Structure 1
Amino acid sequence: MPSTTIHFVRHGKVENPDHLLYERLPGFHLSGSGVRMARATAQYIAQNPQLNTVTALYSSPLERTRETAGEILAQLNAQRAQRGQAPLSLIADDRLIEARNEFRGTRIGHGDGALWRQRNLRLVSNLWKPSWGETYAQIAQRVSDFADEKIQQYQGQQIIVVSHESPIWSYRHLLETGHPEHNMLMRHTALASVTSITYDCETGRVLSIDYADPAADVL
């Protein structure tokens, strides 16, 4: 029974001194800590024989995910060079992008531009079913479409996908519960964590879901 494993990696910590909700805004890069997180996860992947034989690396098109993926790519390609294999390339896919959010550009805190001003709060009606942008169903569906495509494209293989907290958790919650709606405060997707999902290629059935947090101790 051939299987495909997709390793979903969340990006590392972002440099954000003004505490903005950056969503899909350009110009938000990994912080120094975020780079160290990405390198810790890259090392974890490169040293793990169950992970370092991946055949493709995908990423959301945003800077923070591409930079995290770049650290992973560097370590994997160093190993591939030692084995005489051709290097991998990073492939961007819009289906992996951060959730659309009407709060983008607002600031966590108080004063002008703060998220908690009344005009923003009226958009929050239910934490389980976002009213401030993409629904969890929409987010999970685009990740599901991506995964279904790659399960068939990479039968018997493994790939790495670098994305964001909301897409990864909404999709995982859909697989585990049958619905993507969840309390956003209860997500289990740490920065630079790895959520590995293995599928039966013939049926698409999920065989296992594993989770690792290689950057948990990075400061």
Structure 2
Amino acid sequence: MSATTIHLVRHGEVHNPEHVLYERLPGFHLSERGRRMADATGRYLAANPQTNTVAAVWSSPLERTRETAGIIIGRLNEARAERAVVAPDGHPLPALELAVDERLIEAGNDFRGKRIGHGEGALWKPENLRLVRNLYKPTWGESYRHIAARMSAFASEKIDEYAGRQIIVVSHESPIWSFRHLLETGHPEHNMLLRHAALASVTSITFDADTHQVMSITYVDPAANVA
């Protein structure tokens, strides 16, 4: 029996001094702290013999995820060069390059561009809050079911493509948690306030490569203490 492990990494902190709900808006990059968070996670993955031999790194197309993935790739490639890391079969590992997939993108959100706070364009206005009718079934954008479906399609494809190997996938809180919740409970609906996917955290899901059944789910937060 062979297994495929997908390490789902959430991007680091974003530079957002105006507290805008940026969702899929362009131009939102990692903050300096976010870059340190990505580096902490990259160093963790590079130091772990179970993750420094990954076959590929995939990312959402948004800036914050591509930047996080780039920092992680830098740490992994550095470790491979310095420590002569080889694949489990003993063959040399090629340098990693970033691959992008639209299915990993942030959830669609009708509040995109709104500000968290008061004043013009603020989220917390009656006309906006009327859309928030059910935290378990978003009424303000893309449904958890649709989010989980696109993540599931990506994962199913990669389980076969990378059978017996591991990959890193950099995405966003909602896609990561909706997919995990689907796998653990059979449904993706959840209370968004109870998610467990911190910035730059790693949710590792191991699948039986033949049946696609979940074998294990683990979670670590390498950037928890980054100031």
- TM-score, length of structure 1 as denominator length: 0.99
Paired amino acid for 1:103: F
Q: Please, which of 140, 147, 150 is the counterpart of residue 158 of structure 2?
A: 150
Identity %: 68
Matched, 1:43 2:51: no
Give the Å deviation of 1:111: 1.1
Give the Å deviation of 1:176: 0.2
* C-alpha distance in 1 between matches for 2:97 and 2:37: 21
Give the Å deviation of 1:121: 1.0
Once the two structures are superposed, what CA deviation does each residue of 1:2-50 show, in whole Å capped at 9, x if it has no partner? Answer: 0000000000000000000000000000001100000000000000111
- Name the residue aligned to 2:59: 59
* C-alpha distance in 1 between matches for 2:46 and 2:214: 25
* C-alpha distance in 2 between matches for 1:50 and 1:90: 19
Q: Please, which of 122, 137, 142 is the counterpart of residue 129 of structure 1?
A: 137
Paired amino acid for 1:42: G
What root-mean-square deviation, in Å, do the aligned CA atoms of Structure 1 and Structure 2 show? 0.8
Matched, 1:7 2:15: no
* C-alpha distance in 2 between matches for 1:54 and 1:85: 9
* C-alpha distance in 1 between matches for 2:132 and 2:59: 29
Runs of 4+ in 1 over 6 A off after TM superposition: none
Gapped runs of 5+ residues in structure 2?
85-91
* C-alpha distance in 1 between matches for 2:15 and 2:127: 27
Give the Å deviation of 1:119: 1.4
SS in 2 for 1:38: helix
- Name the residue aligned to 2:111: 103
* C-alpha distance in 1 between matches for 2:212 and 2:48: 25
Give the Å deviation of 1:88: 1.0
* C-alpha distance in 2 between matches for 1:59 and 1:51: 16
* C-alpha distance in 1 between matches for 2:100 and 2:163: 20
Gapped runs of 5+ residues in structure 1?
none
